[in-house]
Amino acid sequence: MRFSERVENLVHSPIGAAHALVGLRTNSRALLDLSQAAPSFPPADAVIERIAQVAREPDAGRYPPQPGLPALREAFANDLSRGYEADLSAESVLITAGCNQAFCIVASALISPGDEALLIAPFYFNHDMWLRLEGVNVRHLHPGPDLVPDPEHAESLLTDKTRLITLVSPGNPTGVTIPKDVIHGFADLARRHDIALIVDETYRSFRDEINGTHELFTNADWTNHVISLHSFSKDFAIPGYRCGAVVGGAGIITESLKILDCVAISAPRIGQEAALAGLMHAQEWRAKQVTRIRELEKKFLAVMHDQPGGFEVVASGAYFGWVRHPHADLTTSEVVRRLILEHDVLVIPGTAFTAKDDAMVRMSFANLEPVEIEELTRRLAEFA
């Protein structure tokens, strides 16, 4: 049997590869799992109760309306309008089976084989994988030490084949919130060159409080060049229920629906009902989780200040610490393997997010308890 060269040339999930090593451990102490960028805690009671209720309803297993449940689209448009001080309508919202799917169907609607796309390094690995799968030439913009991309630098990388630019803010894997004036600069760049700007805002609730919320939705022509992607997984702790959203103009939603019809028909009803319950009844719970995770970040930065074992935090935010390891004599894959097998610490190699080995690892501190964060530094200090 022959397989697609594009698929064969893709790497396997770095998260799956790291988890595969866990089964090889011989130590008996508990694993510190800093791998998944997803909530490890249960949803709010109101969300759990609604999930149980929906499961018993006669239409629970039927297809919902393809663009999403009308009540969810309306509630999310209202939530975004409050958060961005904008006036968004339900017609601007397309519900998808998670934010990964949102990116895939939008990107596929915008690009053709041979086109070019610009990603900011370090990039989210699934974005890079999907674009390459579609036969797109992916170009990487490498920011300076602050990891904030420069629109002027991006403009120098554009060609007549460039069709889209993707920003992730807060970033995965870095956690960096891109300042709103920089995001506005990228929107202006997209407008001038008649290309699309995708802004993945999966972790928008966890953006830092200094750089503020962008104002893209207040521009009269935003739907001509800006597409915003969202996830309900992080806000309401429902990653397995697969519910995300595309926010854009009529054109991108119409074309994306064609692709959605081929891959999922629609997002699962039960996940949409869970997201709706969260928007309607778990906003206070949502805010408490944001505060709790910010406190975990403060704890993480405090205990990592002295660089235990030589591990240095380069950036942090949202769920993530972007950390440089000190072992120039080892590949990052080897460092990750030893952390898992010898020190019972599960992290993701930075090579999943970069084109070369920059001696970085991603640590998802948000899934640890404060006492586990303290234990992390002791285990890192053991690494020799």
Q: What average pLDDT is seen over the chain?
A: 93
pTM here? 0.94
| 344-379 pLDDT tens trace | 999 999 999 999 999 999 999 998 999 999 999 999
CATH of the domain at 168: 3.40.640.10
Which of 263, 282, 301 lies at the terminal end of a domain, its last residue?
Answer: 282
At residue 275, the 3 state secondary structure works out as: helix
| 197-216 pLDDT tens trace | 999 999 999 998 787 789 99
**pLDDT at res. 24:** 72
User: Same structural domain for residues 158 and 273?
Assistant: yes
Work out how many domains the chain is built from and give that number: 2
User: Same structural domain for residues 78 and 208?
Assistant: yes
Task: Report how far apart, in Å, the C-alpha atoms of 69 and of each of 63, 94, 138, 233, 301 are.
Answer: 10, 9, 35, 17, 41
User: Same structural domain for residues 143 and 90?
Assistant: yes
Using CA atoms, how far apart are residues 277 and 69, in angstroms rounded to an integer? 12
Q: Name 193's Cβ contacts closer than 8 Å, sequence gap at least 6.
A: 155, 158, 162
**pLDDT at res. 368:** 93
Least confident window among 16-30, 123-137, 162-176, 300-314: 16-30
User: Same structural domain for residues 58 and 36?
Assistant: no
Whether the predicted pLDDT of 13 surpasses 80: no
CATH of the domain at 35: 3.90.1150.10
User: Same structural domain for residues 226 and 96?
Assistant: yes
User: Same structural domain for residues 350 and 369?
Assistant: yes
User: Same structural domain for residues 256 and 129?
Assistant: yes
The residue-averaged pLDDT of 46-58 equals 92
Q: Which of 173, 71, 186, 90 lies closest to 126, judged by CA?
A: 173
User: Same structural domain for residues 31 and 115?
Assistant: no
Instruction: At 330, list the tokens.
Output: 């080892």
Which of 282, 314, 330 lies at the terminal end of a domain, its last residue?
Answer: 282
What is the extent of the structural domain holding 320? 5-42+285-382
What's the distance, CA 146 to chain centroid? 19
Which of 226, 256, 282 lies at the terminal end of a domain, its last residue?
Answer: 282
User: Same structural domain for residues 53 and 26?
Assistant: no
Phi, psi at residue 8, to the nearest 5°? -60, -30
364: left (phi over 0), alpha (psi -120 to 50) or beta: beta
Q: In the chain, which residue ranges form alpha helices assigned H by DSSP?
A: 5-8, 14-22, 45-55, 70-84, 99-110, 125-133, 151-157, 180-193, 233-236, 250-263, 269-281, 283-303, 332-343, 370-382
User: Same structural domain for residues 270 and 294?
Assistant: no
Instruction: Return the residue matching tokens 């602050």.
Output: 146
User: Same structural domain for residues 183 and 78?
Assistant: yes
User: Same structural domain for residues 35 and 100?
Assistant: no
